[in-house]
Amino acid sequence: MAQSPLVFISRRLPTSCLELLERAGCRLRVHDSEVAPSRHELLEGVAGCDAVITLVSDRVDEEFLDKAGERLRVVANYAVGYDNVDVGACSRRGVLVTNTPDVLTEATADQAFMLILAVARRALEGHRLVASGLWQGWHPLQLLGQDVSGATLGIVGMGRIGAAVARRAGAFGMKVLYHNRSRRPEAERQLDASFRPELPALLEESDIVSLHAPLTTETRHLIDAAALALMRRHAILVNTSRGPLVDEVALLEALREGQIWGAGLDVFEDEPRVTPGLAELDNVLLAPHLGSATERTRREMAGLCARAVIAVLAGELPPNVVDE
């Protein structure tokens, strides 16, 4: 009898995912930790596997694929973004790559909106003041923020998550601008969003800029010192996409100098490291990459990964295969 397929899972995942795979007859090798495996542990873990479930912090490249060996048929990435995976290298070896779209759209848009509101209304400073016991009572000039209702929101990357943020903006009476590789007429119709083919125009016009583009060679440091210099002095930058879209050192400088008003960051250039100095500022809110972190969303992401693995091992094509 052929040996049952071996699946490597690079982190502790919701148990429902493990149960699905076990019921389908898979053997599991789990890096059962909340901490990322070292490169060595990752490469040891994937050796001889038929399938792997990876996270955004696991680099899937030629070395990884060499180490996994010829049995490998699918890399199920536990994320919608797959910039950690060399998809070309996988396809050259006949290895399918899948991701977890749709199920995390609303949770991530909620997180972006949470950052927008919390930075604009200085939620963290307010909390610290009350919690410190030093609050001396209401006064007219205390912790004044920026209006979100009626503001102009610039969305960079009008994909599923960008569109979900635009829907929320509609309820706040915001004017929505968007910049995207290609024009999205249906977004313009449904979300009353206006296209800005050039990023500088969007940056100059927006009160709040929210990033939702994937990380590619074109989007790395899309928001650099020059881009920040175009933003309004009362503007807020929110990033729930990928850290390297923003030049973090340039952002630190812009925040320190009051070149922009504030920032909400869910992602960082070199996670889990954060550029020294950023955490000390009052006008930033930092979150540890929690965009999709709700119980339901993380369960559904795990279910998508497990079902993709099971489908590929059964010779079927899962719905969420990605290409280059």
Residues marked as catalytic: 242, 271, 289
Q: What is the DSSP string of 201-243?
A: HHHHH-SEEEE-PPP-TTTTTSB-HHHHHHS-TT-EEEE-S-G
**Which single residue is written with the structure tokens 């949470």?**
114
CB closer to ligand GLV out of 213 and 237: 213
Query: Of 12-20, 41-49, 74-82, 194-202, which part binds ligand GLV (CB under 6 A)?
Result: 74-82
Per CB under 6 A, contacts with ligand GLV among 247-306 are 291-292
Minimum CB distance to ligand GLV, residue 301 (Å): 7
Minimum CB distance to ligand GLV, residue 226 (Å): 26
Nearest residue to 222 (alpha-carbon basis) of 251, 195, 196: 251
- 100 has which bridge partners? none
Q: What distance separates the 2 farthest-apart alpha carbons in the chain?
A: 77
CB closer to ligand GLV out of 80 and 166: 80
Query: Of 60-68, 77-85, 117-125, 195-203, which part binds ligand GLV (CB under 6 A)?
Result: 77-85
CA distances (Å), origin 177, targets 117, 163, 189, 216, 279: 18, 11, 13, 22, 29
- CA 258 from chain centre, in angstroms, equals 26
Query: Of 14-22, 76-84, 270-278, 308-316, which part binds ligand GLV (CB under 6 A)?
Result: 76-84
80 lines the binding site for ligand GLV (CB under 6 A) = yes
> Three-state SS for 88?
helix
Nearest residue to 69 (alpha-carbon basis) of 96, 85, 47: 47
CB closer to ligand GLV out of 56 and 191: 56
Among the listed residues 51, 79, 118, 252, the single contact to ligand GLV using CB under 6 A: 79
56 lines the binding site for ligand GLV (CB under 6 A) = yes
Among the listed residues 9, 104, 177, 236, the single contact to ligand GLV using CB under 6 A: 104
Minimum CB distance to ligand GLV, residue 55 (Å): 9
- CA 286 from chain centre, in angstroms, equals 14
180 lines the binding site for ligand GLV (CB under 6 A) = no
Query: Of 40-48, 79-87, 152-160, 309-317, which part binds ligand GLV (CB under 6 A)?
Result: 79-87
CB closer to ligand GLV out of 47 and 290: 290
CB closer to ligand GLV out of 79 and 265: 79
**Which single residue is written with the structure tokens 């915001």?**
174
Contact map string, positions 124 to 153, toward ligand GLV, x by CB under 6 A: ------------------------------
Minimum CB distance to ligand GLV, residue 54 (Å): 12
Query: Of 73-81, 142-150, 219-227, 272-280, which part binds ligand GLV (CB under 6 A)?
Result: 73-81
- 97 has which bridge partners? 75
Q: What is the DSSP string of 9-63?
A: ESS---HHHHHHHHHTT-EEEE--SSSPPPHHHHHHHHTT-SEEEE-TTS-BSHH
Helix, strand, coil shares of the chain, percent, nearest 5, are: 40, 15, 45
Torsion angles phi and psi, residue 203, rounded to 5: -65, -40
Nearest residue to 309 (alpha-carbon basis) of 87, 38, 69, 4: 4
Minimum CB distance to ligand GLV, residue 178 (Å): 20
CB closer to ligand GLV out of 46 and 79: 79
CB closer to ligand GLV out of 198 and 295: 295
215 lines the binding site for ligand GLV (CB under 6 A) = no
Catalog residues that contact ligand GLV under the rule CB under 6 A.
56, 79-81, 104, 291-292
